[in-house]
Structures are given as C-alpha cells and as structure tokens.
Structure 1
Amino acid sequence: MVSLKDIAARCGVSIATVSKALNDHSDIGQETKERIRQTAKEMGYVPNAAAKSMKTNRTHNIGVLFMDDARSGLQHDFFAGLLESFKISVEKEGYDITFISNDRSRPGRTSYLNHARYRRFDGVIIANVHFDDPEVIELVNSDIPVVTIDHIYNDTTAILSDNVDGVSVLVDYAVKNGHKKIAFIHGVDSSVTKSRMVTFNKKMEEYGITIPDEYIMESPYRDMHGAYETTLKLLELPDVPTCIFYPDDYASYGGIRAINEKGYKVPDDISVVGYDGIRVARHIRPRLTTYRQNTDELGALAARNLIDLIERPNTTLIKQVVVKGKLLEGDTLKKLN
C-alpha cells in the first residue's frame, strides 16, 4: 500500500507537505499541490479512512433506519426515490450510507442505538419506521444527529411531505368536478394517516358535504389485496360512492380491479384517486389521477440538514421542513358537472 512517505520521497518534499497538499491546506502553493496530487494518483494512493476518522472524529458514514410493513423494501417507489436522492446528495459531500438492520430475529442483534454507536455513524436518517418503538425513541434521544422523514419529535429535525396540501388539492379537484359522494380509504394509524384524515374531514366540512361513516375505511399502505377487499365492501353499500380516494397508487390498482370485477367502469361509473405519483402510474391506462410527492427534494433536504447537524452543530437550528408535491391530472376522475 502506498504511504505518504512514499509520495514524499517521489516528490522530494516532507511528509507534512504531502499531507497538507492532499488536505488542501492554504499554506501550500497551488503548483506544489497539483504535483503532489498527480503523483499520489499515479502511485495509486488511497487515504487511510481509519486514520482520517481518528483525526477528524468523523467516519463519514451515515446510518439509514428504514422499514416497511409491506416488506417491499427498496421496491417501495416513494421511499426508494427519496433514499436514492438522499444517497446521491450525501455522497457528493463525501459520506457513505449503511442500512441499520431491523431484523429482530437475527442472532446477536443489538438495539438501533448500539448498532449506530458500533458502526460509529456520524448521523442517522429515520424513515417509515414505527416511530413509537422504544428503540427508535432511544436513538432519537441520543447524542447522535438524527433527521426523520414524515414524523416530528421534539428537538429533532424533520423533513415532511405536505400531506395537508396533498389531500386538500385532491379534494378540491374532485369536488370542483362535481363529486360529493367521496369515499376515503386511509392507511394504518400513523402521523401521516392522521394528517390526511383530519384534512379530508376538514375539507368536506368546508364544502358543506356530509360523508357517511361507512365511506371511511382502513387498508394498509401499498397493499393491493387489502384495497381490493375494502373496495368490495364499499361497492356493497346501498349508496355507492362516485369517487374513491386510496392511501397510495399501488392500493388504487387493487381498487380498480374490484370495481371492474363488479361490472363498474373507471371513471364512467366510479372515479379513482391515488396518492404518491409513482412513475409507472403515468404509463398504465387509464392514467391515474394522483398527487406526486417530491421525493427528490425530500431526499436532498434530508441530506443537507443532516450534514449541517453533523458538521455545524453549534450553528444549525432544529427545524421542520415541509415539501409540497403536485397534482397529476389523469383519466380516472370523471367530470360530473
């Protein structure tokens, strides 16, 4: 392995000069820096990460705590897009990412906090977990910088997709197109679900529209079969809704299957509204009416704020950052008026 001593001997300078040149110190001339860096490159020099970590007290490694009840993992379009944006952003700043295992059946498993400390993570991003899990709370309350996605803890920076805006925009669009009998299938209990439900009920109230209790149903996120079964129950009601909101785009396709099997047509008989704006939905016909969450911006902001907490802890404020999405007008919502 090529060392600083080898480079110094080749260039005819001191080891200290080589170190300063490779670390871009200002007291080394630009011409000398370039000569030393070119020599290091030609010799195949690779910095010693362990030595650098001891000097800077940073490993330049960020932990990612992510879980998905549907076990879709990185096939989950929303979080896959967000994490890819996060990964690209942190790598530009010289950081690597490592996933924190959430397999509690694994032999020798330790808590999330112990895992993070063992790996010496400089910070951790937390997404789509059970936020009331004692292990998650322990990690959040530790001295390790943390940024959460779509959940707010006290004294923790959170990057939030604007669920209030998302549901508001979709309700406005449906009502302005003449729909009043709107069913709302929501995901399992979470801060995101609560925000969407409250917003839906508030908007209906503002429009003076009374929604029957049986129009509000639960189905797990990203569960086509669950949405299929729930939709069948809605279609058995004496007064069938003209429009059904689904918790995400995947779920909406389970609903569309149920609607078709019962002899109804989308959108002629029943309109369908999704959520997330997954890319594949723009290529399936009929194109889904949905709300696209801005995963690129969410991931980039999560990266920027976490690195600020790591590198500038004394001047970085804890904050909640809300990111708006965009209505995608498709072909699954009929204009009744």
Structure 2
Amino acid sequence: MKMTIKEIAKLAGVSQATVSKIINNYDDVGQKTKERVLAIMDEYGYRPSYAAQSLVKKVTKVVGVIYAGHINANFNHPFFVEVVDMFKKTLGGEGYDLLFFSNEKFHKADENYLQRCQHYNVDGCIIIGGEQVEPSIYELDQSTIPCIGVDIELTGPHSGYIMTDNIQVSSMAVEHFYLTGRREVAFIGGEKESFVSRQREAGFRERIKAYGLQAPEEWFVYGDFFEESGYACMKELLRSERTPQAIFAISDLMAFGAMKAIKDQGLDIHDFAIIGCDDITAAKHVEPPLTTIKQDKQKIGRMAAFILKDLITGHIEQTSLKVDPELVVRESCGSKKPGVMR
C-alpha cells in the first residue's frame, strides 16, 4: 500500500505540516519528533513525492546559483560565463529569477548551503563545479531541493548533472597528435583533486597507451585552469632534459599561458603543437590561432535549465547527461586549414 503524507502524520501523531518540515530538513522540529516520523517513513517505505515536499514550500520562481569551491568564486572563467548566461536566458524565459550565493566564507562551520537555500526558499539550484568543493554542497545535493550540476557529479534524490564527455575530450586531442605525426606529448592539467582534470587525465593516459606515444611522468604538470598557471607549467616542461613535441592543456586559458611561455623563452611557437579545451572566443584570435576541443557551452547551459525545471516540477527525479565535444583545428597544431572533426 502506498502511504500518503496524511497517513504518515496520523501514525506519528503530528500535523501534515510537521511531516513536510521534516521532509524539507527544516530545523524547527524537535529531534524526538523528527526521529519518530522518520522511523515511520522508513518502516512503511515512504518516499516523498514532489507534491508532498511542496506543502510547506511556496513556489518562488527563484533558482540559486552556486559556484562550488574556490576556483570559480570570481565568476570569471569564460566557459562558465557563457554556460550561466545561456542558463539565465533559458530559465528567464520560463519566468525564473536567479539568486547568486557567495562562498567567500565556506571554510567556516556556520556556512551551510542547505540552510541558506531554505532561508531564501529557492525552488532549485544550479551548482557549478570547481576545485576543493565544500562538503556542504553534497549536503544540499542529498536534500529534497532540486539541483543541477555542471562539471560536478550529483547523486541526490532530486539532482542531475550535465558535462562534456571529458574522456572523449582528451581522446580527441591525443588522436589528433597521433594523426599529425607527434609522438612525444605532454599534459597540462588542473589541480589533481579536480574531478574534470582527473577525468581528462585518465582519457589522456588511456589514449597515449593505446597509440604507444611517449609521455614520461615529468611531462604531466598541473595548474588551476587559468593562464598564469599554464605559463608556469610550460616553463616547467621547458626545463625538462628534453621537451615534448606536443602539449594538451585542459583549458584554453592554460594553453594561452603555455604559448606565452614558449615565446618568452625565445623559442619558435611553430616548433610545438598545442591543443587547448573550451573554444572560448579568444581562442581564434591568439597568435597562432589555437586548436582546441570545443565544449558546447550553449547546449550545456540550455540543457541545464530545462533539466532543473523538470526536477523542480517533478517530471523527472534523477538524470545525467554527457555532451559530445568537437575538435576545432587551427594553426597552433600545424593545420593549414581550419576545420571541425566530430
């Protein structure tokens, strides 16, 4: 027999509003009452529907925006700027407003995303994945508040996530190196703890092994997705006993930094093959224009908006989606004619 919130409340001897508060993790319910209600829900296998969760949650048409971790806190990475802009335009067309949450104090114990989302009564959240993600992000993910993640895996009961297929990203880069005759390749990654960086490194290692390419461990260097770190990483590679023929940087900004480091050392940039990732607008304007793995920022932003709306309205409960990348060939990898390989 499928239980209802009314029947759970009757068995527990409390009001339906109290049960709904417990379902939505409100903190103004006594611990003994909470334990009694949860025990009954567990005994009868009760799983709250979206309608039940909404009894005490007034629809506000407001969605929270959270940049998880410290690396994205400045909102200034071109990839995420475009994703969030499309997300905003798409949800705005559906009548939603956005509320940006600060994470400047996330190291302090009193910072809690779930409580703040409850305080502002948001209908749902988009979470942009960064480095060193705060534990409270995963508390929010596991709550009844619908969440959509971009570049972060969410597994909560009302969560979903969307990202580019990061294994395929690196596979495309290595395959292009192989097909253009480069056999000694290096990898410039983000922080080692980064989910995206780990995935792209795994794809890179898998593919260089398949093609028998040379990539000693000293040619694996790590930055933070931004230009300055790409510059430092490339200088480290240039200090190696021998230098690689080709470099895959997992962001366009780090690729820009790597190119600048080569030029500042007085070396010919055309002696190296460089591939970045993202295909931000500036990639086609650097010298030489950057070969890169394009992430479909417009599609990611639009899909994130529609998935979150469906999570909010209860049309879906959990979902995940990986978007195919594209290789955009320009002069930084020795191409005479730009093109796209799908």
Q: Shared fold (TM-score greater than 0.5)?
A: yes
Q: 1:184 to 1:133 in 2, by over 3 A?
A: same
Which letter does structure 2 place at the counterpart of 1:271? A
Give the CA deviation at 1:71. Answer: 5.9
Q: Provide, for residues 35-93 of structure 1, a one-character-per-residue CA deviation record: whole Å limited to 9, x for no partner.
A: xxxxxxxxxxxxxxxxxx99993000000001564567333110000000100110111
Q: Sequence identity of aligned pairs in percent?
A: 28
Please name the residue that 1:202 is paired with. Answer: 206
Of 80-89 and 121-130, deviating more is 121-130
Give the CA deviation at 1:108. Answer: 12
The two structures have a TM-score, normalised by structure 2, of: 0.76
Q: 1:259 to 1:289 in 2, by over 3 A?
A: same
1:123–1:144 CA contact under 8 A, matched in 2: yes
- Alpha-carbon distance in 1 for matches of 2:84, 2:119: 23
Aligned to 2:234, which of 223, 231, 235? 231
What does residue range 1-337 of structure 1 map to in structure 2 within 5 Å? 57-67=58-68, 69-70=70-71, 73-104=74-105, 110-130=111-131, 132-155=133-156, 156-188=159-191, 189-222=193-226, 224-267=227-270, 269-311=271-313, 313=314, 315-334=315-334
Q: 1:272 to 1:163 in 2, by over 3 A?
A: same
Give the CA deviation at 1:247. Answer: 2.2
SS in 2 for 1:332: helix
Give the CA deviation at 1:109. Answer: 6.8
Q: 1:135 to 1:72 in 2, by over 3 A?
A: closer
2:70–2:133 CA contact under 8 A, matched in 1: no
- Alpha-carbon distance in 2 for matches of 1:317, 1:334: 47
SS in 2 for 1:184: strand
Q: 1:56 to 1:67 in 2, by over 3 A?
A: closer
- Alpha-carbon distance in 1 for matches of 2:100, 2:218: 41
Give the CA deviation at 1:178. Answer: 0.3
Give the CA deviation at 1:200. Answer: 0.4
Structure 1 spans left out of the alignment, 5+ residues: 1-52
- Alpha-carbon distance in 1 for matches of 2:107, 2:208: 47
Q: 1:129 to 1:226 in 2, by over 3 A?
A: closer
- Alpha-carbon distance in 1 for matches of 2:58, 2:100: 21
Give the CA deviation at 1:328. Answer: 1.1
Q: Provide, for residues 114-135 of structure 1, a one-character-per-residue CA deviation record: whole Å limited to 9, x for no partner.
A: 1111110000110024575221
2:66–2:100 CA contact under 8 A, matched in 1: yes
- Alpha-carbon distance in 2 for matches of 1:321, 1:71: 22
The two structures have a TM-score, normalised by structure 1, of: 0.77
Q: 1:179 to 1:274 in 2, by over 3 A?
A: same
* RMSD of aligned alpha carbons: 2.5
Q: Which is bigger in relative contact order (C-alpha 8 A, separation at least 6)?
A: 1
Q: Provide, for residues 209-252 of structure 1, a one-character-per-residue CA deviation record: whole Å limited to 9, x for no partner.
A: 24211111111111x22221221121122221111111211111
- Alpha-carbon distance in 2 for matches of 1:147, 1:292: 22
Which letter does structure 2 place at the counterpart of 1:333? C
SS in 2 for 1:97: strand
2:73–2:103 CA contact under 8 A, matched in 1: no
Q: Provide, for residues 171-191 of structure 1, a one-character-per-residue CA deviation record: whole Å limited to 9, x for no partner.
A: 111110000110111111222
- Alpha-carbon distance in 1 for matches of 2:240, 2:234: 10
SS in 2 for 1:102: coil
- Alpha-carbon distance in 2 for matches of 1:78, 1:71: 11
Q: 1:131 to 1:117 in 2, by over 3 A?
A: farther
Structure 2 spans left out of the alignment, 5+ residues: 1-53, 336-342
2:106–2:134 CA contact under 8 A, matched in 1: no
1:67–1:73 CA contact under 8 A, matched in 2: no
- Alpha-carbon distance in 1 for matches of 2:73, 2:186: 26
Q: 1:55 to 1:199 in 2, by over 3 A?
A: closer
Which letter does structure 1 place at the counterpart of 2:326? K
- Alpha-carbon distance in 1 for matches of 2:131, 2:163: 16
- Alpha-carbon distance in 1 for matches of 2:277, 2:130: 19
Which letter does structure 1 place at the counterpart of 2:240? L
The structure with more radius of gyration = 1
Give the CA deviation at 1:98. Answer: 0.5
